[in-house]
Amino acid sequence: MPAPESDLLESWHHNAHAWIEAIRTGSIESRREVTDQAILLAVLGRQPERVLDLGCGEGWLLRKLTERGITATGVDGDATLVEAARAAGSSPVHLASYEALVDGAVDIGRDYDLICANFALLHQDIIPLLAAMNALLAPGGALVIQTLHPWSVAGGDYQEGWRLETFSGFTGQWQPMPWYFRTLSTWLTALDMAGFALSSLQEPQHPQSPVPQSLLLVAEPRG
């Protein structure tokens, strides 16, 4: 496994407690003001009965969906986050690495009306994982991805490659996290190679910000 991939996973293990605190106190402004609502509305807009939250973290979205009568299942690769989600009433939540999901080594259910990945696709080779998720969708199902907006976070360098998130401005003790930057075209290529067709594209934006806060993609399996 390339070093950035293992460093990415290790950073999540190190940052899990700080992440739980940040999410549950609403200390990340972009999430509090824009992106949490954006992913929730995108999921609810499809009126799903069964949802899989891929990379569910501490389970906030699972709880929001359950409150609305939706059967929500989570999966995450960090044991601390999974434990926190379960303790908060998010159930069921599975512990599984993305590699295990690609290999089918963990049974997380199937025939989902919708699978969402909210800022959860940070590694380089996402195509096998997306293809594995495609196989878990029920007929008529959809994949909803919210991610960093490439234009907003490019920093003048619009080239695919590894970047480093230092969490500057975040409270708490954080370990820097490598993440893979991809352009809009390479996002669309990955979806296509995993057997999806883009259904809609949104750019959630705060009215007082000149740049979009995220990129939100809705895709459906090609017939």
pLDDT per position in the chain (223 positions), as tens?
A: 457 999 999 999 999 999 999 999 999 999 999 999 999 999 999 999 999 999 999 999 999 999 999 999 999 999 999 999 999 998 799 999 999 999 999 999 999 999 999 999 999 999 999 999 999 999 999 999 999 999 999 999 999 999 999 998 888 889 999 999 999 999 999 999 999 999 999 999 988 889 999 999 999 999 7
- pLDDT tens by residue, 183-213: 999 999 999 999 999 999 999 998 888 999 9
Q: Where are the domains of the chain?
A: 3-221
- pLDDT tens by residue, 76-102: 999 999 999 999 998 799 999 999 999
Within 10 A of 142 (CB to CB), how many other CB atoms are there? 23
What is the three-class DSSP state of 216?
strand
pLDDT at 223: 76
CATH architecture of 3-221: 3-Layer(aba) Sandwich (3.40)
Rounded Cα–Cα distance for residues 223 and 203 (Å): 26
pLDDT at 1: 43
Contact between residue 114 and residue 53 where contact means Cβ atoms under 8 Å apart: no
Rounded Cα–Cα distance for residues 109 and 87 (Å): 21
Amino acid letter, residue 45: G
Q: Where does 143-205 have alpha helices with state H?
A: 150-153, 184-193
| Distinct helix (H) and strand (E) counts, the chain | 9, 9
Rounded Cα–Cα distance for residues 98 and 75 (Å): 9
Torsion of Cα atoms, 170 then 81 then 105 then 124, to 10°: 0
Amino acid letter, residue 41: L
Work out whether strand 137-147 and strand 112-118 pair parallel, antiparallel, or are unpaired: parallel
Contact between residue 51 and residue 114 where contact means Cβ atoms under 8 Å apart: yes
What is the three-class DSSP state of 4?
helix
pLDDT at 118: 98
